[in-house]
Each structure stands twice: as C-alpha cells, then as structure tokens.
Amino acid sequence: MNQFTTEIVDALVKKQDITEVFRSHLEMAMNTLLKTELTKFLDYEKYDRAGFTQATPIMGLIRARFT
C-alpha cells in the first residue's frame, strides 16, 4: 500500500471524514504537476555544452554576445 491508501484506510478505521485526505493528496499532486510544467516551460533543466543553464531565452542572447 502507498501513503494515500494507508491514510484512507486509517481514516475509515477511525470513522473520520476522508475529504481532507483527498484534498491534501490532490493539492500535493497539483503542486507537483504545476512545478513540473513550469520547469518544462522555462527550460530550467536544460544545459548547453558550456554548462550554463538556459533558464530564459535572454540567457542565450547573453551567451551569444559574450562568446
């Protein structure tokens, strides 16, 4: 069982409302998805051969000007 399943079973055994379990796990999943999408959109993980990150298009212009 994973964390989500364990928390749901625990809440059901204790006869608690499982809405908070769903809400917290949905929030974590959405935050992870948004972080991944933002990272991909901004190209934070790509590196050029010189080892500089290409965080924004302006970084390419700066490197082109000084190389």
Higher pLDDT: 8 or 64? It is 8
Burial class (CB in 10 A: 0-12, 13-18, 19+), 8: middle
Q: What Rg value do the Cα atoms of the chain yield, rounded?
A: 21
pLDDT in the model for residue 62? 47
Report the pLDDT value the prediction gives residue 61, as an integer from 0 to 100. 47
Q: How far apart are CA 46 and CA 7, in angstroms?
A: 37
Residue 9 has pLDDT above 90, yes or no: yes
What pLDDT shows up at residue 67?
47
pLDDT in tens, 11-60: 999 999 999 999 999 999 999 999 888 888 887 655 555 655 555 555 45
What pTM did the predictor assign? Answer: 0.56
